[in-house]
């Protein structure tokens, strides 16, 4: 099995960046405009707007999941590193 080397400081920096991105992303309000009447083109544009709103919501979820993953990775790496260091001290 190969060695996994994680730079905890770089990981912390990435988590901070992702949290800032998530905050700025979710601050933006995205709504599909209300449309009354119109032809096929207007209907298609309305559908595109609804899809964009869904994309905006899912991107927020993706950012949240990525942040959680990175935090868990950091926590597990630090705990494993501390456990190995403790074991080495005992030997």
Taking only the tens place, the pLDDT of each residue in 28-42 is 999 888 877 778 888
Beta-carbon contacts of residue 33 (< 8 Å; ≥ 6 apart): 46, 49
- Closest C-alpha to 30, from 44, 48, 16, 15: 48
Per-residue pLDDT tens for 27-82? 999 988 887 777 888 889 999 999 999 999 999 999 999 999 999 999 998 888 88
Domain map of the chain by residue range? 8-90
């Amino acid at each position: 099995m190969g060695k996994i080397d994680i730079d905890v400081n770089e990981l912390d920096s990435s988590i901070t960046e992702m949290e800032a991105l998530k905050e700025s992303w979710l601050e933006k309000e995205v709504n599909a405009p209300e449309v009354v009447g119109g032809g096929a083109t207007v209907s298609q544009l309305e559908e595109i707007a609804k899809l964009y709103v869904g994309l905006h919501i899912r991107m927020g979820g993706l950012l949240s999941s990525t942040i959680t993953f990175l935090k868990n990775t950091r926590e597990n790496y630090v705990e494993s590193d501390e456990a190995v260091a403790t074991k080495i001290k005992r030997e």
